[in-house]
Chain A
Amino acid sequence: MAAAKHTIVALVADRPGVLNRMASLFRRRGFNIDSIAVGHSETPHLSRMTIVAEGTTTQVEQIRKQVEKIIDVIRVQDITSQDIVTRELALIKVKATAENRSEIMQIVDIFRAKIVDVSAGSVMVEATGDEEKVDSLYNLLKPFGIMEMTRTGRIAMPRGDQVNRRTDVESEK
């Protein structure tokens, strides 16, 4: 079976150390995490994590079951094969001169990205989209000289009425 990138979403208790538990489990089981993004969910005291990791379906199912055993993890799903929306946010600081600034702006426009800061020698671009879009934008900006880039990693959600939440969990102290 071929290894592929999997998108795993987990609903977790908002307690100290949960991210550490998650990351440590992946490391211990020999899995490399491509990205991990975490923030508040719709329910107070619960956070939602999106983890991207590479492995075969069987390997990922095994790690999912192990993750499920973490006491602070309420629900975890591999949503790779579902119809999902994925996004990431990137900030890219590019070298810019008076001459090439408008060329940069054109590229940014095409990608429906935004310029969020301008200085004498640089512009900062904010981009959201799936990874491929951010990658392409990055590649086009590269010739100008990338000074700094930061990316959030993937966040993901299934389309439609489906939800990844536990209705019996209203709030968790």
Chain B
Amino acid sequence: MKQTGSEILCESLLKEGVEVIFGYPGGQVLPLYHTLTDYPKLRHILVRHEQGAVHAADAYARVTGKVGVCLATSGPGATNLVTGLANAYIDSIPMVAITGQVPMAMIGRDAFQEADITGITLPITKHNYLVTDVNDLARTIKEAFYIAGTGRPGPVLIDLPRDIQQAAAEFHYPSKVHLPGYKPTRAGNQLQVKKAVKLIGEASKPVIIAGHGVRISGAYKELRQLAETTNIPVITTLLGISSFPETHELSLGMLGMHGLACANMAVTDSDLIIAIGMRFDDRATGKISAFAPSAKVVHIDIDPAEVGKNVKVDVPIVGDVRTVLLELNKEIAPGDHSDWLSRINGWKKEYPSGVEIRESDTILPQYVIRKIWEKTQGQATIVTGVGQHQMFAALHYYYDKPNSFITSGGLGTMGFELPAAFGAQVGLPGEPVWCIAGDGSIQMTIQELGTIRQENAPVKIAILNNGFLGMVRQWQELFYDHNYSATPLWCPDFIKISDGYSIPARNVTCKAEVEAAIEQAAATDGPFILNFIIEPEENVYPMVPPGAGINNILHEPKKEAC
């Protein structure tokens, strides 16, 4: 029996185990939306903007490890996905985005709501397709999910002309893909593993830098075993946060521009870096020529193109992080690095900035984050926007639960937090999800409060409201002569906004209320918004000035006693 393209799509999604689609309808996906109601197992969630759909699918994928799915109409619907696709691409998130397209006969004629979305998304997708024959549809979907979810994950876009959605074909879902140009490696080369073991055995000042790859491959146990057996401290990148328990004695926290001094000093002074599933982003390395000048580098990554891209690597091991760590752990010998660790502990004590929170009568953002950590015991999933609040959330919450820090690391996309927190909550029903928002960042996608309300998602939203585009203001203060050009930001009354969306909310204007407010939000069923009026010109410390080496650290200046 023949089925329509729309039916074939829905059947294929079921075969792929898809449960949720984040989407927004329009003329060129109407046939598909018409069919969707026949597939109640495919839960469609209507967002308020396509950017909301793609970020929600992104975070859903991050927390579940499944391929996130979003759906948009042609033209403006499709182009609204662009930021989110770029975000998912740079952070290696498995995703399939489906867009409607004008009917085949109209492609290339500047038809109403036509946009060349495969052309537009070419550099920001792992792969993309324009389906021109309904007989290719099932195979295309199979391939798309396979490509999105294997190797180094990434977003794949399928552009589906309206007439292909309506055309009919026999439905056969292929059991295998045939992609001769795509063969991701999983197992690391044995010889390289042996070389790594040797280097690790010889090192006296080794560090592990754990990145997003540890989380993507789910190698928490294996990483911990490696660190504990060898007694090597673990530093994470921003996206590596929550790959290793941060209250563990071997944890040194994050490195890089806003990394902790002990992490940056340890990396700079190290004689061996074991880089695991991280890509030496410039925010992590600082000035490359000053980066770990005397360290040898073992680099484990699934993407061969990452090896040697930014720093010189002595032992490259291309493969899935978990698979490689399993191999490595079989061969590794116990180590003792107590001298090295006590040196690092010295730095920890010497430079408490980024850890200690100073006394203040006003509400400090660090304090808010710390109180949320205390309340949630490091077991919540924290989702952030981009700005100072993101860095405060990275530094002052202690992530003990694997995979619990969701942030836009590579692209740095403001507006990520609210839809992503929603998407994470959909992936983690019944679990605590906290959205740490900037007053600027949240206003980029604030309409997703509508989605949160409609779905009654119990996301707790903490706005760190400083009345500034804080991170940019910080740069202006430190590097642009205090010239606050376009960074003071008028904010709406967030309580009235919340009221408009029927979401309970509360302003928090003095320090004494902070704990009770967090308590109230956590105790409320359903969503809750806390608007923290924080110290407006608080800065993120420590900080490495842009372009400097990561051991060139600005610490929090001592406030004069008054």
Contact = CB atoms under 8 A, between A and B. Distances in A.
B186 to A, nearest CB: 16
Q: Is the interface of A mostly helix, strand, loop or mixed?
A: mixed
A33 to B, nearest CB: 16
B309 interface: yes
Interface of A: 12-13, 16-17, 20-21, 24-25, 28, 58, 61-62, 65-66, 68-75, 166, 168-169, 172
Interface residues of B, number: 18
A155 to B, nearest CB: 21
Given A62-B309, A65-B305, A74-B180, 17 more contacts: A16-B130, A20-B119, A20-B122, A21-B122, A24-B122, A25-B123, A58-B308, A61-B308, A62-B305, A62-B308, A68-B304, A69-B303, A69-B305, A71-B179, A74-B181, A75-B181, A169-B180
Contact of A172 (B119, B126, B180, B308): B180
18 contacts: A13-B181, A20-B119, A21-B122, A24-B123, A28-B123, A58-B308, A62-B308, A66-B305, A68-B304, A68-B305, A69-B303, A70-B181, A71-B179, A71-B181, A72-B181, A73-B181, A166-B180, A172-B180
Interface centre among A17, A69, A72, A169 (most CB of B within 10 A): A69
A73 B309 CA distance: 20
A168 B180 contact: yes
Interface string B20-42: 00000000000000000000000
Nearest to A75: B181
Contacts of A74: 180-181
Contacts of A25: 123
B254 interface: no
B182 interface: yes
Interface in B467-486: none
B118 interface: yes
Nearest to A70: B181
A74 B178 CA distance: 12
A130 B553 CA distance: 55
Interface in B304-324: 304-305, 308-309
Contacts of B127: 71
A119 B465 CA distance: 79
Nearest to B139: A173
Interface in B159-184: 178-182
Contacts of B309: 62
A-B pairs, top 3 by smallest CB distance, nearest first, are: A65-B305, A74-B181, A71-B127
Given A71-B127, A71-B181, A17 B305 contact: no
Contacts of A62: 305, 308-309
B147 interface: yes
A61 B304 CA distance: 11
Interface string B103-125: 00000000000000011001100
A71 B156 CA distance: 11
Contacts of B119: 20
Contacts of A61: 308
A17 B381 CA distance: 40
Nearest to B179: A71
Nearest to B147: A71
A27 to B, nearest CB: 9
Contacts of B303: 69
Nearest to A24: B122
Contacts of A13: 180-181
B181 to A, nearest CB: 4
Interface string B348-364: 00000000000000000
Contacts of B126: 71
